[in-house]
Amino acid sequence: MSTTTTPGTGKQRKLVQMAWDPVTRIVGNLGIYTKIDFNNREVVECKSTSSIFRGYSVFLRGKDPRDAHFITSRICGICGDNHATCSVYAQNMAYGIKMPPLAEWIYNLGEAAEYMFDHAIFQDNLVFVDFCEKMVAETNPSLLAKAERTPAPNSAIHGKRTIADIMRAFNPFTGDFYREALEMSRLTREMFCLMEGRHTHPSTLYPGGTGTVATPQVFTDYLARLIKFVDFAKKLVPLNDDIFNFFYEAIPGYEMVGDRRILLGCWGSFQNPDVVDYRYENMTEWGRAMYVTPGVVVDGKLVTTSLVDINLGIRILLGSSYYEDWASQEMFVTKDPLGNPVDKRHPWNQTTIPKPQKRELEGGNYSWVMSPRWFDKRTNDHLALDTGGGPLARMWATALAGLVNTPFVRATGKSVIIHLPKTASFGEMDLEWKIPQRANTLERDRARAYFIAYSAAMALYFIDKALERVHSGDVKVFQEFEVPDDAIGCGFHEAVRGVLSHHLVIRDRKIANYHPYPPTPWNASPRDHYGTPGPYEDAVQGMPLFEENGQDNFKGIDIMRTVRSFDPCLPCGVHMYVGDGRVIEQRHAPMFGLGGHDEAEG
Partner 1 sequence: MKRKDKKTKVVSNVVVGKPDVEPSTPSHVRGVFEGNHPHVGQRHKGIKEVSEDRAEGTARRSTGIRPKDHDVIDPRMPKISPA
Residues of this chain that interact with partner 1 (CB under 8 A) are: 59, 61-64, 66-67, 98, 100-101, 206-208, 213-218, 273, 324, 353-357, 470-476, 480-483, 510, 586, 588, 591-592, 594-597, 599-602
Query: Nearest distance from residue 368's CB to partner 1, in Å?
Result: 13
Is the Cβ of residue 433 or residue 478 nearer to partner 1 in the bound state? 478
Whole-number minimum distance, CB 577 to partner 1, in Å? 10
| DSSP characters over 326-345 | -TTS--S-SB-TTS-B--TT
Q: Give, in order, the Cα–Cα distances in Å from 34 to each of 15, 43, 174, 362, 490.
A: 9, 7, 33, 12, 37
Identify the DSSP state of 305. Answer: -
Name the minimum Å distance from CB 359 to partner 1: 15
Nearer to partner 1 among residue 216 and residue 413 (C-beta): 216
Type of residue at 203: S
In the complex, what is the shortest distance from the CB of residue 476 to partner 1, in angstroms, rounded to a whole number? 4
Q: Cβ closer to partner 1: 180 or 464? A: 464
* Closest approach of partner 1 to the CB of residue 602, in Å: 5
Q: Are strands 12-20 and 301-304 parallel, antiparallel or unpaired?
A: unpaired
Rounded least distance, CB 273 to partner 1, Å: 8
Measured from the CB atom, is 66 or 344 closer to partner 1? 66
Q: What CA–CA distance (Å, rounded) separates 495 from 389?
A: 10
Is the CB of 215 or the CB of 425 nearer to partner 1?
Answer: 215
The answer to whether residues 233 and 456 touch, using CB atoms and an 8 Å cutoff, is yes
Closer to partner 1 by Cβ: residue 255 or 324:
324
| DSSP E strand stretches across 234-389 | 263-266, 295-298, 301-304, 314-317, 323-324, 353-354, 371-376, 381-383
- With respect to partner 1, which residue has the nearer C-beta, 61 or 198? 61
State how far the Cα of 17 lies from the Cα of 457, in Å rounded to an integer: 46
CB 184 within 8 A of CB 120: yes
The helix or strand, by DSSP H or E, that contains position 220, with its residue range, turns out to be helix 216-250
Taking the complex as a whole, the smallest distance from the CB of residue 108 to partner 1 amounts, in Å, to 16
Q: Which of 393, 392, 361 is nearest to 537 (CA)?
A: 361
* Cα-based distances in Å from 183 to 12, 124, 454, 457, 499: 53, 11, 20, 20, 28
Of the candidates 273, 265, 187, 268, the one whose C-alpha atom is nearest the C-alpha of residue 456 is 187
Minimum CB separation from partner 1 for residue 564, in Å?
Answer: 33
224: amino acid identity, one letter: A
In sequence order, what are the beta bridge partners of 377? none
Nearer to partner 1 among residue 140 and residue 351 (C-beta): 351
